A and B are shown apart, each in its own frame.
Chain A
């Protein structure tokens, strides 16, 4: 098992080096298919081995293993070296683009880590690698969803550079970055030492910065620096948390930290939670994720679904047992709850498909964050289920929008009018993804149901959260339904269009759709057999399933019904003789149901648009006040925690 864990972390880095060196499209294809396949196989083997060997948590280094206690300090120095190198890159780029504050921020935190490492304050060899159910689950998500996204990128990037000749073709660099990202994520979720987590954490920050700036456009550069400073701010908080741990607890192991009484470690948990909030793009730090859209679609899909933002909520879920009932927990709940509601309102006002997806990511992460903040077994259960379903359906949606953009030349939802007839395959993928995000029997909704129940059981301040969720559910429903409306509204005479989607893209999309359906059907078993013991490992004593058996049976019947009823009705409608009637257009229908006669007697094309309610829910109107409110919450909670700690 040890070998598999180590190879899971190292393998993506090796593939990344190979990707960087290869210039031929042909070999890149082989390498990507092979590399992603290998990563998935490694993760699955690890899971199977773990299952067969008694499903225990594993902490490395242990006696007579590959990774010995003697090696660990050298790895530590190696990491420090890489960190210094990354700092040099950041400083160089920041100075070049005249962002001196960012350079300062980067130097400060790396300096702090240098001092800690070189003064020997964080020399701790025990438990640097830690494997339990949560990290295993994260590994599987990263390997499967992340691996598929890399395959999707093959076809997408080929098309991308075909369309965008104005940007330099830096595909070797791009693919190398994608794989480094996966490697860093594996490292992050498998590390038990805060110093190691911090190392991988910083890598993801800097890689996402480089990915966002891929096109080197002015907008891309601006957005990439925004992402950088927000994530470095989180990184600085993380480094400070490590320093606190090293100086007061004399240990930098996350498990050691979590074993302490919650009242004694308030400030460390606060700093770590703050870092997680920046990474999972909660308001007021959500702007960087929106800006990340300028990057090519595979990197947005990766950032938004399986990696990056999930690193933040992963850390929050780990911290949840020590956040429950603490000031930090209240902060995380408040920020998460507000983000869920406000982001879903803002999503209504956008017509750009990727932007809607981005705001929906922010919103859903808000809900997971809130679940972690409440910090009871039930809320964490809901959070984990949300995390799984969100990763799969959001990856599917992002990739499909990317494919649609290449097929119809736009990613605007208004331009997707009648897509169900024009591009049946891509439209079906979108419909499955959207259904997965909010419809009755699908995963996200089950998780939302759980979240509501568990917030109520937690009581106290969480009742306010329930009210936010009630409003947020309504707004979520509106922006998804609006999208469905556009896909299914087929004007008369719409014809099928050519599908330019590459095979590699279809491969990924198909796997995601299948995965989505399997997850929906398998989730009740999975939740009992896997998630419930996971809660025990995380430190919750009273872990149990919330939904009763009859409810789950009804849910599964409903899942069948949602597919069966429209299908049956469709078959029935073929039996019934339906007379085609003309569209009612106040008597000025030109006869083709698409044009009407205007007051001059000329035919005019009819255009039907969705409502966007911009004057009500506009970003300009809502964002600033809420951002300030969350800043106030964070500052007040910091003062309370800091004051209470000493």
Chain B
């Protein structure tokens, strides 16, 4: 029994470590400029937890096997513990855990503590059950106001724009695919019409909830690599439980050269004017 449980724990440990080690399933490619620091922090964490995992599980397995009751007269060790040991591993655990966390500070700060550059491309993201819409401000750089009484998906005016009366809305471009230029900072402003949603592009290492009543900005830059995978086309998925269609609430992200992007935007604008 002791050997069996030791072996089973050891086998579980080895298989788990192998799957991580061999990248049988692994992080998707990273096509953002900030993703490397996230992946680095992930690797640091993986190595640290991997070591603790192996030591703890194999230690458990070894102890169970080694100290099984063999039916002999050896008594168990009468010990209430060891204060020096307690202090040592408490301190060690504290340094490792909190230290690891502080290492990740820079990665988080670079993503979240600084606003987007002034010349970043600004796009609004609107979520609703169960669809994403994207709004480009057009040549005037202004997003026109949205009117809840005009919001109507069936007429194609999901965002409730009044193009006839609001000058800022006139040139706004609303799409269901998010096209962005490569190598240029993009600032997304996230809105939700109804319930909570989330904007997640795993290859961009971008993940942010859409909260009704809030306009949440996030910014990122798609790296040169972004054009090389899958024709620059990635899936944007909702990760916040939003109702029955949650499982297929997704849109596509198309990364383009600046030239293609300008062309695409012009074509969209013509279709909508």
The answer on A and B forming one complex is no
- Chain A interface (Cβ within 8 Å of chain B)? none
- Chain B interface (Cβ within 8 Å of chain A)? none
